[in-house]
Amino acid sequence: MKLYSVILCGGRGERFWPGSRRSLPKQFVTLFGKRSLLQATSDRVRSLCPPDRQLFVAGAEFGPVLKKQLPVASRNLVFEPFGRNTAPAIGLAAIRLAQRDKNAVMAVLPADHLVEDRKAFLACLRFAARLAEKGLLVTFGIPPTRPDTGYGYVQSGARVASSGRLAGFEVKGFREKPDAATARKYLKSGDYYWNSGMFVWRVDAILAAFRAHMPAFYADLERYGAAIGTRREGRELARLYDRAESISIDYAVMEKARNIAVVRATFDWDDVGSWLALDRHMPKDRQGNVVGQRGLASDSGSCIVQTDAGIVAVLGCSNLVVVRSGDAVLVAHKDKLGGIKGLLAEIGRNKDMGRFL
Amino acid sequence: MKLYSVILCGGRGERFWPGSRRSLPKQFVTLFGKRSLLQATSDRVRSLCPPDRQLFVAGAEFGPVLKKQLPVASRNLVFEPFGRNTAPAIGLAAIRLAQRDKNAVMAVLPADHLVEDRKAFLACLRFAARLAEKGLLVTFGIPPTRPDTGYGYVQSGARVASSGRLAGFEVKGFREKPDAATARKYLKSGDYYWNSGMFVWRVDAILAAFRAHMPAFYADLERYGAAIGTRREGRELARLYDRAESISIDYAVMEKARNIAVVRATFDWDDVGSWLALDRHMPKDRQGNVVGQRGLASDSGSCIVQTDAGIVAVLGCSNLVVVRSGDAVLVAHKDKLGGIKGLLAEIGRNKDMGRFL
């Protein structure tokens, strides 16, 4: 068995505007340390999956930045015509990988998640790969640390495997983003995990699941597979995506399949969902401010202040996110960051401003 | 009698950082409309003082920007070696003007005040000039519209002249910046005016006042005057300033002289003391935001949002001043703008940041 990583680079990273732009979504941006989230994701798995066993699914427009940031061969770049959520992206990678190595085990990893404990991550990944070899569709469940209403949850059942601190469980069910009371109940029970969006499975197992649960898509996928390397490849890829439903792998496959398991993560995990992630991963001053280079927070508390050029000074403010990136500045109250998609829509509607998205 | 304007350009405009910089203080910046405050000040008096009767007192480093913004002849540029508050600046302009026209009446006007009703302003100026011709040192008093604790006040006495709505009064005294209760008392009494820092007097009258109330400075000033146009001029100017006390004309002369009068302003006046001036002079959206071009205030109220480049978006905030100017961004709570000098001091102490002042 060979383990491959399929790194999903399709996120738009809107909630990291203006650090993240349409032309350079957050996975390509260096938010922490010296490596972009994408580079850090690739680095993390490198000892199990050397560069030639790392595939990247992205829009073709991100080919140049991918090649700039990583030593990636063209055959490992899987370009989507446009984004269609995770199910089509994973199907596309799976059909291509199956032609290369029908015994492949594939780990699906979003390019924009942050995991700092690499050793624990790799131990979990090896453990999950062993379950995957048996034909299970394995998802990583993150033990919740707060009653977060922003994630889907996985309810675990009986233990199916363990090794030291590592454990895999049956899945009783997937739960949508809960309300606050339900989230508190989940947190308390100990049986519920955050649905991380990271998976491990045999390539034949996930293709069988597509055949069972997305038969129309699977038929198109086979047709595309037969065209790979021929003159028809581009046309068939366009057809595949034109006809594909935009749907997550969770909805499309995991919630329907029976051969699933959840591996409890023993590593730290952050999906870097918004600027607030900096509060969790960057050092703070005594007033609780996270202030980057050439930022200044005077008579201020609990602010995030970041700039990639010039100087940004905050005076007498609390609970703000202040970010300058390139030609754009965002000043947002931390409690109102949920409104950023609306803000970006507003910017998009303004003919003088759309180019700043 | 010929009326001259002496436009004082020495302000540092710190409270308008980052719109105002050491290299380009606020009087040279276009904050309202299409003309800088300096240009607007020059424009305002032009019908009474044509360009050749407008003198500008400034640091020599501002010669180029003065010539760029206005059609000013070199003989009308009065360069100070360094700033020494208003008394030395006015003395310097007076001694030079006296050599050119010993009967001159001079209006002293800060370059950074905003007056929108030009017609009323000119009527007051003409009225004040007539009082000045009699030998009075005339100051303009602004009828207060709020119990402001940020201004000095002039207490008026008996009426000494009037013409229609225009009136001049004896001065009972000058009052320092009051506390809030005293400011309310002043506002209620009707006898107190804001001390505007605008004056009109005969050049011989102000020189006589310097002789009486700043005799040492006056002696140096005469010595400098005798050197004008000689090889010694530069050396004597340096000596004059090295020895001069840094003091305002109010403290040095007006509070001591007896031949003073206050003319009640019938025009609008704003000394544009901070970014909050934009709230008074710029249109607001329905949420009370003053948003400039390529600014955006979403789910926000009572914010001032200005940028000279790129885009600045404010989300979910209240009562903020958000300004991007060049390479610097300021985000300040309106109630904490008083702390801006401390902030600038902090920036100045940081070796990577001082260049942004």
pLDDT at position A49, please? 97
**Please, which residues have CB within 8 angstroms of residue A58's CB and are 6 or more apart in sequence?**
A9, A10, A66, A77, A78, A79, A80
pLDDT at A351: 87
Q: What is the pLDDT of residue A154?
A: 97
Whether residue B32 has pLDDT greater than 90: no
Residue A33 has pLDDT above 90, yes or no: no
Q: Which residue of A has its CA nearest to B317?
A: A333
pLDDT digits (tens, 9 = 90+) for B287-296: 999 999 999 9
- The ipTM, to two decimals, is 0.87
CATH class of the domain comprising A3-264: alpha beta
Kindly state the average pLDDT of the residues A90-117.
Answer: 96
Indicate the pLDDT class of residue B12, thresholds 50, 70 and 90.
confident
pLDDT exceeds 90 at position B273: no
The DSSP string of B146-211 is S--SSS-EEEEEEEEEEETTEEEEEEEEEEPPP-HHHHHHHHHHS-EEEEEEEEEEEHHHHHHHHH
Looking at residue B352, its pLDDT comes to 86
- Give the containing element (helix H, strand E) for A77: strand A77-80
Mean pLDDT of A300-322: 97
- The pLDDT of residue B1 is 81
pLDDT of B242 strictly over 90 = yes
- To the nearest whole percent, how much of chain A has pLDDT over 90? 92
pLDDT above 90: residue A11: no
Cross-chain CB nearest to A311 (options B311, B312, B356): B356
Q: Number of helices (H) and strands (E) in chain A: give both, helices first.
A: 11, 15
The answer, yes or no, to whether the previous bond of B18 is cis (omega within 30 of 0) is yes
The arithmetic mean of pLDDT across residues A91-101, rounded, is 97
Supply the pLDDT for residue A100: 95
CA distances from B309 to A48, A76, B179 (A): 47, 40, 40
Q: Quick one: average pLDDT of B35-46?
A: 96
- Residue A291, pLDDT > 90, answer yes
Q: Which of B292, B348, B350 is nearest to B17 (CA)?
A: B348
Average pLDDT over residues A201-219: 98
Question: What residue type is B334 in one-letter code?
Answer: K
Closest approach of chain B CAs to the CA of A25, in angstroms? Answer: 18
pTM for the predicted model, two decimal places: 0.87
Judged by a CB distance cut-off of 8 A, whether residue B307 touches chain A is yes
Among A294, A326, A339, the residue with its CB nearest the CB of B315 is A339
Whether residue A32 is predicted with pLDDT greater than 90 in this model: the reply is: no
pLDDT of residue B260: 97
In chain B, residues under CATH classification 3.90.550.10 are: 3-264
pLDDT at residue B13, as a whole number: 84
End-to-end CA distance of chain B: 43
Interchain contact, B317 vs A320, CB within 8 Å: yes
Residue positions counted in chain B: 357
State the average pLDDT over residues A25-41: 92
Is A12 a residue whose pLDDT tops 90? no
Residue A111: what residue type? Answer: A
CA distances from A111 to A37, A40, A217, B109, B328 (A): 6, 8, 24, 62, 32
Predicted confidence at residue A31, as pLDDT, reads: 85
The average confidence (pLDDT) of chain A is 95
User: Which chain A residues touch B336 with a CB distance below 8 Å?
Assistant: 299, 315-317
